[in-house]
Amino acid sequence: MADPIRWARYRWQRLIPTEGRECSSNNSSSKCYQLSKTTGKHRVVIPCLGHFKEEYEKLSKLYMNNKIRTTRYTLLTFLPRNLFEQFHRREKKYIDECWKNVNVGDFVRLSRNEIIPADMVLLYSSDPDGICYIETASLDGETNLKQRQVVRGYSEQVSEIDPEEFSSRIECESPNNDLSCFRGFVEHSNMDRVGLSKENLLLRGCTVRNTEAVVGIVVYAGHETKAMLNNSGPHYKRSKLERKVNTDILWCVLLLLLMCLTGAVGHGIWLSKYSEVPFFNIPGPDGKLSPPTLAGFYMFWTMIILLQVLIPVSLYVSIEIVKLGQIYLIQNDIDFYYEKTDSTIQCRALNIAEDLGQIQYIFSDKTGTLTENKMVFRRCTIAGQEYCHEENAKRLECYQEMDSKDEDSADCQCGSSAPTSKCQGNNWRAVCEPLNRKSMTQLSGRFSAFKRQEEAGDTSNSGHMAFSSPIETDVVPDTQLLEKFSQISFHSYQQSEKASSKSSLETMYIADFFLALAICNTVVVSGPSQTHQKVRLSSLSRMPIKSLEEIRQMFQRFSVWRLSSSPLPSVKESSSESPNSFVRKLSIFGMKLASPTLDGADERISEPHNTDSPENSQVPGEIHLVNVAAGGEPNHAVSSIELSPIPKLSYEAESPDEAALVHAARAYKCVLQSRTPDQVTVDFAGLGSLTFQLLHILPFDSLRKRMSVVVRHPVSNKVVVYTKGSDSVMMDLLRTASEVHTNNSEIEEKIKERTQHHLDDYARRGLRTLCIAKKVMSDAEYAEWLNHRFLAETSIDNREDLLLESAMRLETNLTLLGATGIEDHLQEGVPDTIQALRKAGIKIWMLTGDKRETAVNIAYACKLLEPKDKIFTLKSQSRDACALVMSKILEDIQDNTSVKKNRSEKLGNASASPSTQAQGFNSGLVIDGRTLEHVLHDSLQNIFLELTEKCRAVVCCQATPLQKSVLVKLVRSKLKAMTLAVGDGANDVSMIQVADTGVGISGQEGMQAVMASDFAISQFRHLRKLLLVHGHWCYTRLTNMVLYFFYKNVTYVNLLFWYQFFCGFSGTSMTDYWILILFNLLFTSVPPIIYGVLDKDVSAEILMELPQLYTMSQKSVAYLPSAFWITLLDAFYQSLVCFFVPYFTYCGSDIDIFSFGNPINTAALFIMLFHLLIECKSVTWIHTVVIVGSILFYFVFTLAIGATCKTHNPRSDFYWIMEKHMTDPVFYLVCLLTTCIALLPRYLIRVLQGTLFPSPVSRAKYLVRLSPEERRKEIKRWKDECNVNYRVKLQATSVPSS
């Protein structure tokens, strides 16, 4: 794709230090010199315009251009295009350009739905807020829209940016592959600097959506774009089996060398036997004969050419084909189909399917993997008072029932719609309450009609969208809390700020709590009418309390602090859903009513039309409204109030928790109405609509484990910080009594204590907990902080640290408001799957970022831990303590096991029943994140692993993504175990990549995990069939095929080798070259491939029922080193038989070379194919067709070559041989005898094995033949037996392993 020469040159240039050159390109002022010192790391972008031309050329010629080979620009189109462009250039218009002509410094203007050609900084967006929506699906697979923001200082420009007037310099970091990070600044001509972040960068490959036009300046082009730098090619994982095969192939090479050496030495000896040159040893073309030693040396190489078939090159090809076939079958397994998301398994790695059969350790994420990641608001505690939301719990129960009903049959949708409507109704009341009564009644008629439609859509589509199923969105408020909540009024709120009476304080807490829930997030609000188009609500008309003038003043005040905010855009934005557009939507809705069964495909087709028309036509309406607002016509404004809350707001959240919290807040009539970069509007029941000036958002990161927003409170007019985060970090950040001596401090202490108590309780119930806190700042404090923040934002080098530090400065001395408990449902079938996998001998670890109590709870819920297990918790502050604790636990376990062992031995002697013996000792280990750090240290790794080996389950909580991957790596490298990591979120990516097999769950948290994974499934329970059935099958199939391939090659090559003993080691082959070549290629290649793809030793049902069978493939029973050598031995035996039976039959007769070779060859074919039949566990018609086809093909081919090749050089001795043999009874007799003798031992051994020492697999095979009842009984008996064995084995191994 890429221009290779350019690319190479570019790489070369990057190697040469560019510091000096770039320095000279800058102005020689001292300041610039200082800058250019770091230009090795940074790049300077200057617009490609007339007055910067010179500088631009100096600077930018070193940058990569966007040249990628395309075929759009042909010679034919060049001239007219060029003229056209010249014309446009004079007109100072944007010209259409090919991607390859885009260079760094170019201005690029893109329209909607265009793909971004290079990484560029966004300078203008047609969106009044300076926002541009992009879809990043091609980069990370996430289909939601991302917001990008115009560089501050440009966003207020009303008209489109004029490139001619752009005179700033952009300095940013050198090209790198970090998609989530971009650092730089714009330096205006007056030396003002504005920081740039990834919010300002449009990445190449993304698509502009829902934004009419954007203009940006290119900063990275071509191969320097982040998308291209990220394209490191697929990571290649090689399966364990393949590694083993490689070593065995080395053995084959050794064998080949040995055989060739034998040939060489033999030839030398044979030659030296003759005192004079025999006349059948003809000299070379030059008439000279080489001495025996030299001839032997030459013969070595001749032999290598002759016998090279021994190196099974075709094996690699066949393995690949077989793997493709296996993957095809896995992908087509109907059991992996998950109807709710219409997704099935995706096999992204084609070459490690057989590793699925050898997994010993599974590392699982918790959220979204074991659980559904459907966050449901369950409980909250505010100001130390718990609200348990019993009604909500009841509602959830009703949903669960509904869910199960849904799964039972799709027909009961009508029945299940009843509870939905109830809940919906509830919800509706909540939303509509703030409405004007009159308009409510006006609209109610329409409502009922629409509601019906909505319900139908809801039930049929539930679960398809992220975080939007009714189970998540609808929260029934707690009555007690609702009562308190309803007391909140504007007045009381204002009072409560000053007064400190307990009741009013609580009121304030509650109000603040819900405001925090609604504000402190990054949820994007969008109306359903225009997808991803934010709802613009009139901030003016919906603030009836304050006059326009007041607000204007307020904004002006803010603009002191905010560099870029000006009151203008917010005024301009005052347009709302005009009645006009609402009516139009109704009409479109009517169309939908008419054809309710529109399927997805049709909808997609119709989308472009739909998107275009309303938005275009909306423009005049908008302008009209602006005029109206300016004119101050109150009537119209009122009408917009009436209509504005009607659109069902949809929240687009980055994480399900956020969505759950916002929905919870909405249930309490604290509705997040809109969010722009500058402000957040919340419709608060008692207070009316509040617009918060959004000063700052400190986004969530895994290091801080919290997020904060800084807003200007519209009521109190103070700067307020709302912080939301995990309780472990939040509790340390709270204001302590000793620091601030207010009269509230005592209460606060109490609240903190009680909240902590509640939090512990939530965690025990398996709820995810979040603490909500707030802090009020004075303007001076804020100004000081803002200064620091600004410095941090504009720095390039250690910006992260500085930002973190500034965040830390802000998030201190917080006041705890309360906490929330969110429930995460377990996925369907998780406990069964975990139990089955455990029975299959797989150790399961749960690695989660959640807190300990939650993690342990989920572990119990999904039967990872069982109630009778002994749980050891590893939690210590220092490394030494940690070591001590671990050794103590080890001792403890050992004591326990030895006691148990003694007892079990006694019991065993008394031939106790399995049930009593099964009461083994099990232990689980729980580690928290801080201890994990110590444990992963080199000195403690070994003891830790030893400890974990003895534990049934390991739960690591509060683990960072890095720790997860280190753990996986540790187990993988130290224990040499096959690991599988399964996860669904971005935090599991590193773990998935490190593990031998990475499984991604395409759940709710985007696509990163799926993109990084080798297999992507939609449900955790699919893992069971994937491993137990497909893993087992793939592994046994492939091993058997590989062994068969070795056997086949060694047998065939040995035939040639044995002949060397009878032709003076001269390298003659007794078969025609064509047949020799094609034997492996055509006649015997397809059956093993079919065998490798389709062979089925045990049926899927039995494999699922008896997970114990998995241990067969797990321990590589089918491909032990001995198996390879036994196969080789058998190959030697068979080749000996295959050669010497014809030899003794024909020796001394007038047989010629090819007539001798033909029965050998034919017999070899039969032997190999029948050998395959013996090894085949199941023979379908495909097998039959392929084997019969191979035989027929062989005969047709040899007959054809025998009939036609009378003069093909150098030898045509094969002429008519097959034809003659076909009429010769001896030929058939020889073939029959040879085949029988050759296969007899293997057949006999298989028979004896099957009779005397049946493997579990063959016993399982036998089960298929039984009647269902007998089978059930048999399986039960087997399970008991296996339990006993497993336990005995476990105890036996656990002692010596220490």
Annotated binding residues for Mg(2+): 365, 367, 984, 988
Q: Does 429 bind other proteins (CB under 8 A)?
A: no
Among 8, 83, 269, 282, binds other proteins (CB under 8 A): 282
Q: Which of residues 1055-1114 bind other proteins (CB under 8 A)?
A: 1062-1064, 1066-1068, 1070, 1094, 1096, 1100
**Is residue 135 near other proteins by the rule CB under 8 A?**
yes
280 sits near other proteins (criterion: CB under 8 A): yes
Q: Is residue 1212 within 8 Å of 1205, Cβ to Cβ?
A: yes
Going by C-alpha positions, the residue among 176, 187, 251 that lies closest to residue 29 is: 187
**Minimum CB distance to other proteins smaller for 523 or for 953:** 523
Helix (H), strand (E), coil (C) string for 500-523: CCHHHHHHHHHHHHHHHHHHCCCC
Q: Which of 127, 365, 678, 1130 is catalytic?
A: 365
d(CA 273, CA 1196): 43
Q: Considering the rule CB under 8 A, would residue 544 count as an interface residue with other proteins?
A: no
Cα–Cα dist 432/712, whole Å? 27
Structure tokens at 165: 């007037």
Should residue 1269 be labelled a site residue for other proteins when binding is judged by CB under 8 A?
A: no
3-state secondary structure of 352: coil
Chain positions 321 to 340 lying near other proteins, rule: CB under 8 A, are 329, 331-334, 336-337, 339
- Least distance in Å: CB of 1033 to other proteins? 8
The least distance separating other proteins from the CB of residue 591, rounded to whole angstroms, comes to: 6
Q: Which two tokens stand for residue 584?
A: 């139009």
Q: Which of 783, 1196, 1264, 1295 binds other proteins (CB under 8 A)?
A: 1264
Is there a catalytic annotation at residue 140? no
Quote the least distance from Cβ 43 to other proteins, whole Å.
Answer: 30
How many residues belong to the site for other proteins (CB under 8 A)? 175
Binding status of residue 1226 toward other proteins by CB under 8 A: yes
Q: Within its chain, how far is the Cα of 1087 from the centroid?
A: 36
- Shortest distance, CB of residue 541 to other proteins, whole angstroms? 18
Options 106, 652, 928, 988; binder of other proteins; rule CB under 8 A? 652
Give the Cβ contact number of residue 162 at 10 Å: 12
Q: What angle do CA 423, 427, 430 make, to 5 degrees?
A: 145
CA-to-CA separations, 929 to 724, 728, 852, 933, in angstroms, rounded: 20, 11, 9, 7
Nearer to other proteins, 800 or 1213 (CB): 1213
Exposed (0-12), middle (13-18) or buried (19+): which is 359, by Cβ within 10 Å?
A: buried
Q: Is 1281 in the site for other proteins (CB under 8 A)?
A: yes
Min CB(1215)–other proteins separation in Å = 5
Give the one residue of 6, 552, 870, 1208 binding other proteins; rule: CB under 8 A.
1208
Question: Judged by CB under 8 A, does residue 281 bind other proteins?
Answer: yes
Contact call for residues 1272 and 1167 (beta carbons, < 8 A): no
Residue 246 binds other proteins (CB under 8 A)? no
- CB-hemisphere CA count at 13 Å for 235? 15
| Contact status: 614 vs other proteins (CB under 8 A) | yes
Q: Which is nearer to other proteins, 175 or 527 (CB)?
A: 527
Q: Is 342 in the site for other proteins (CB under 8 A)?
A: yes
Indicate the residue among 303 and 349 with the shorter CB distance to other proteins: 303
Per CB under 8 A, contacts with other proteins among 992-1051 are 1004-1006, 1033
- Residue 55 main-chain phi, psi, to 5 deg: -65, -40
CA 124 to chain centre: 34
Check if the beta carbon of residue 984 is closer than 8 Å to that of residue 1018.
no
- Kindly state whether residue 147 participates in binding other proteins, applying the rule CB under 8 A: no
According to the binding rule CB under 8 A, does residue 1176 interact with other proteins?
Answer: yes
List, as own/partner pairs, every contact residues 156-161 make where C-beta atoms lie below 8 angstroms and the sequence separation is at least 24, other chains included.
Answer: 156/130, 156/564, 156/566, 156/568, 156/569, 157/124, 160/124, 160/126, 160/213, 160/215, 161/123, 161/124, 161/215
In the complex with other proteins, the residue whose CB is nearer, 193 or 1242, is 1242
Q: Which tokens hold the place of 843?
A: 């150790």
Site residues (CB under 8 A) for other proteins, limited to 431-490: 443, 446-447, 449-451, 453-454, 456-458, 461, 464-468
DSSP string for residues in 100-114: GG--TT-EEEEETTP
Taking each helix axis as running N to C, give the angle between helix 938-950 and helix 961-974, from 0 to 180 degrees, rounded to the nearest 10.
Answer: 80
Choose between 194 and 1112: whose C-beta lies nearer to other proteins.
1112
CA gap 44, 22 in Å, rounded: 9
Site membership for other proteins, residue 115 (CB under 8 A): no
Q: Which helix (H) or strand (E) holds 779?
A: helix 779-794
Contact region with other proteins (CB under 8 A), list: 354-362, 640-648, 930-938, 947-955: 640-648
Does 137 interact with other proteins (rule: CB under 8 A)? yes
Among 1174, 1188, 1200, 1295, binds other proteins (CB under 8 A): 1174
Tokens describing residue 522: 């990054």
Minimal distance, residue 833 CB to other proteins, in Å: 20
Question: Does residue 272 interact with other proteins by CB under 8 A?
Answer: no
Query: Residue 1005 has which token pair?
Result: 């948290």
Q: Which of 574, 573, 578, 571 is nearest to 647 (CA)?
A: 578
Pick between residue 283 and residue 415 the one whose CB is nearest to other proteins: 283
Q: For other proteins, which is the closer residue by CB, 530 or 681?
A: 530
Kindly tell me which of 418 and 598 has the beta carbon lying closer to other proteins: 598
Contact with other proteins (CB under 8 A): which of 13, 503, 1152, 1188? 1152
- Position among 1157, 1163, 1166, 1172 found at the interface with other proteins (CB under 8 A): 1157
With binding defined as CB under 8 A, does residue 364 bind other proteins? no
Which of 133, 493, 1046, 1110 is close enough to bind other proteins by CB under 8 A? 133
Residue type (1 letter), 804: L
User: Footprint of other proteins on residues 580-609 (CB under 8 A)?
Assistant: 581-582, 584-586, 588-589, 591-593, 596-597, 599-604, 606-608
Say whether residue 287 binds other proteins (CB under 8 A). yes
Q: Does 905 bind other proteins (CB under 8 A)?
A: no
3-state secondary structure of 674: strand
- Binds other proteins (CB under 8 A): choice among 1211, 1222, 1292, 1293: 1211
Determine if 407 is a binding residue for other proteins (CB under 8 A): no
**Sheet with strand 213-220: strands edge to edge:** 107-111, 213-220, 119-125, 201-202
Taking CB under 8 A as the binding criterion, the range among 396-404, 529-537, 787-795, 798-806 that sits at the site for other proteins is 529-537
Nearer to other proteins, 457 or 1121 (CB): 457
- Within 8 A by CB and 6+ apart from 483, the residues are none
- Between 464 and 502, name the residue whose CB sits nearer to other proteins: 464
| Residue 229 CA: distances (Å) to CA of 108, 176, 201 | 21, 7, 16
Instruction: Give the binding range for other proteins (CB under 8 A) out of 357-365, 679-687, 1190-1198, 1252-1260.
Output: 1252-1260
Toward other proteins, which CB reaches closer, 92 or 604?
Answer: 604
Q: Is 859 exposed, middle or buried (0-12, 13-18, 19+ CB in 10 A)?
A: buried
What token pair was written down for 1055? 């035939």
| Annotated binding-site positions for ATP | 365-367, 658, 700, 724, 768, 848-850, 964, 987-988
1248 is a site residue for other proteins (CB under 8 A): yes
Assess contact for 247 and 240: CB atoms under 8 A. no
Least Cα distance to 821 among 757, 867, 752 occurs for 757
Q: How far apart are CA 215 and CA 202, in angstroms?
A: 10
Annotation: binding site: 365-367, 658, 700, 724, 768, 848-850, 964, 984, 987-988
List, by residue number, the catalytic residues. 365
